Amino acid sequence: MLSAAHAADKPADTVYRNGYVYTVDARDSVQQALAVRGGRIVYVGDNDGAKALTGKKTEVIDLQGRMLMPGLIDGHMHPQSGGSRLLNCSLNYESLTMPQFQSRIQACIDRDKKSGADRWLVVVNWFQQGMLPDGVETTAGMLDVLKTDRPIIVRSSFGHSSLLNSKGVKVAKVERDTPDPAGGKITRDDKGNATGLLEDAAQDMAMNLLPPLTVAENLAASKAALAAMRQQGITSFLDAYTDPETMTAFTDLQKQGKLTARAHFAVLIDLDKGATPQSAVAELLKQQKQFDQGPTRVAPSMQVRHAKLFMDGVISAPAFTGAMLEPYLVNKGTPEKPDWQPGASTGPASYFSQDALRTTLKELARAHIDPHIHVDGDRAVRESLDAIEALRATPEGKRVRPALAHDEIVDPADYPRFARLDVTPVLSFQWGKPAPDTLGALKDYMGPQRYATVEPQALLLNAGARIAYGSDWPVDPLDEWFALKVGVTRTAAPDAGKEYAGRLTAQPGMPRAEVLRAITLNAAYTLRQETQTGSLEVGKLADMIVLDRNFFTIPAEDIANIKVLQTVVGGKIVYQSKGMR
Ligand SMILES: [Zn+2]
């Protein structure tokens, strides 16, 4: 860090003046000007002070009142699958009629002249629940009318179902007498024949036939991911479930000077295949040794300091793999006269037993690795907090920064435990809106009491939790500004349709300042980067963005329309739109 006196006597590389400089410092103070030298912030204050740092070679940027703020830090995303989906045939998460669905896929087939009849066509980002009209059947037949001999797989954006054409069904050997695999379902018609729709683990029958990404495809995916991030204003991210191929691709891009965000990677800890907590952590450390580049520095680099653990699946139908304290409700009446009563299932046993989780967390703590745990149902949350409570009682457990990702349903008794145990919930704000997956069925099988607490963003905040944001891209499109809007309003997009008007449940939204803190300083905390990034303060890295409108003064719904005009990482402009010049 530079002393004030030293900072004052040398001109800055860049000075931003006449701005609404939103700092995310301890007081959320707003300043007028900011100066950068050597990739770090050397001044934040008024125009006059910045003038003293303006030399002959200083570039002066007149913000003309525009908002400058810390770069966005996405605390949970899947950049490689996000990036590769940008390169696939994509249905863009849109609600489509059957003719639209068909013509979009035909266009992809027609564009790709090189692929032979054996090569799978992979179609992604299919908004299955949004097909029009409501309840329209989706079967292999819908794809068989397309002009192609290739096998086709259409993957839902949720990741829980895939539709194959008849050729795909044949190639994947989904036959009449093929039993449903564990954790999956082959959808069948009245006669017992596969319809082409595969649910959950049954998708693997086709997915396992897709060739892994080539080195070139991996590189293209990382490149596409970084381009999307720059445009959104993301300057640091956590890959919440990585692999060596992904880290190799990002390393290669870095060597070419094309790594434009600070990259963090979480390695999966999976005790399924005979691994022990010790051997799984040893494998993680091996990957860390290969790919981690040490402490944060001015130029973006790669860090491997997180472990990913799954405690459960998802609370949504038809999977019901979220681990719940109380049973999912089932309809014991008729479709016309429903009678929702507790059923037999509370979801699966947690994927880690309490013993295994405690041992794993302890091993990770010893290795200075922070756990990032997938928890969707309230039992998964409870059991993770229990294990963290035990960890906190050990000497090595005190320095750990555990994060619990998703937290779609949390028992209110557990809200205060996040603050007490210093556990950061990493939330995807965009899930807290009326949508096909949050209305109707979810309400029915959760029952009114639990449903009132879904997506408990403000409820956790009000209980003192440090909330961080993670997009979970590509489960949803990468649209951080829409997500922040939903964090404030808990409403869908204005064009989402009448049935999705209004707020999700009676819960309040989060205050705007808290929403921004979640995607800046609090996410930086989960990456152990908060002394370097996440706020605009003297001595910190110049990771920042210029917005086309003021996040704080526009109507809340307009937050979704914010465009980033300039993205700066370590003092270097990595993205600039025409609007900036
Ligand atoms: Zn995820």
Same domain membership, residue 550 and residue 513: no
In a domain, 287, yes or no: yes
576 CA to centre of ligand 1 in angstroms? 29
CA-angle at 135, arms to 134 and 138, nearest 5°? 120
C-alpha gyration radius of the chain = 25
Rounded distance between C-alpha atoms, residue 236 and residue 72, angstroms: 7
Q: Three-state SS for 235?
A: strand
38 CA to centre of ligand 1 in angstroms? 35
470 CA to centre of ligand 1 in angstroms? 8
In a domain, 318, yes or no: yes
243 CA to centre of ligand 1 in angstroms? 14
Same domain membership, residue 354 and residue 463: yes
Return per-residue pLDDT of the chain as tens, 581 residues: 444 444 456 999 999 999 999 999 999 999 999 999 999 999 999 999 999 999 999 999 999 999 999 999 999 999 999 999 888 899 998 989 999 999 999 999 999 888 899 999 999 999 888 898 887 889 999 999 999 999 999 999 878 899 999 999 999 999 999 998 877 789 999 999 999 999 888 999 999 999 888 899 999 999 999 999 999 999 999 999 999 999 999 999 999 999 999 999 999 999 877 899 999 999 999 999 999 999 999 999 999 999 999 999 888 876 788 999 999 999 999 989 999 999 999 999 999 999 999 999 999 999 999 999 999 999 999 999 999 999 999 999 999 999 999 999 999 999 999 999 999 999 999 999 998 778 878 899 999 999 999 999 999 999 999 999 999 999 999 999 999 999 999 999 988 888 899 999 999 999 999 999 999 999 999 999 999 999 999 999 999 999 999 999 999 999 999 999 999 999 999 999 988 86
| CATH code, domain with 457 | 3.20.20.140
Boundaries of domain holding 167: 81-208
Q: In what order do the strands lie in the sheet with 121-126?
A: 89-90, 121-126, 152-156, 161-164, 194-200, 184-188
On whether the CB atoms of residues 284 and 270 are closer than 8 A, the answer is no
In a domain, 105, yes or no: yes
CA-angle at 224, arms to 220 and 230, nearest 5°? 145
76 CA to centre of ligand 1 in angstroms? 6
Question: For ligand 1, a single-atom ion, which residues have Cβ within 5 Å?
Answer: 240, 472
Same domain membership, residue 316 and residue 285: yes
As for how many domains the chain has, the answer is: 3
Same domain membership, residue 335 and residue 296: yes
In a domain, 376, yes or no: yes
Same domain membership, residue 305 and residue 405: yes
Rounded distance between C-alpha atoms, residue 237 and residue 530, angstroms: 13
For residue 407, give the nearest of 481, 460, 346, 355 by alpha carbon: 460
Enter the pTM of the model. Answer: 0.91
Q: Three-state SS for 492?
A: coil
In a domain, 156, yes or no: yes
109 CA to centre of ligand 1 in angstroms? 30
If 0-12 CB within 10 Å is exposed, 13-18 middle and 19+ buried, where does residue 217 land? middle
268 CA to centre of ligand 1 in angstroms? 12
454 CA to centre of ligand 1 in angstroms? 18
Same domain membership, residue 484 and residue 442: yes
Dmax over CA atoms of the chain, in Å, equals 83
On whether the CB atoms of residues 416 and 456 are closer than 8 A, the answer is no
On whether the CB atoms of residues 408 and 454 are closer than 8 A, the answer is yes
Same domain membership, residue 168 and residue 34: no
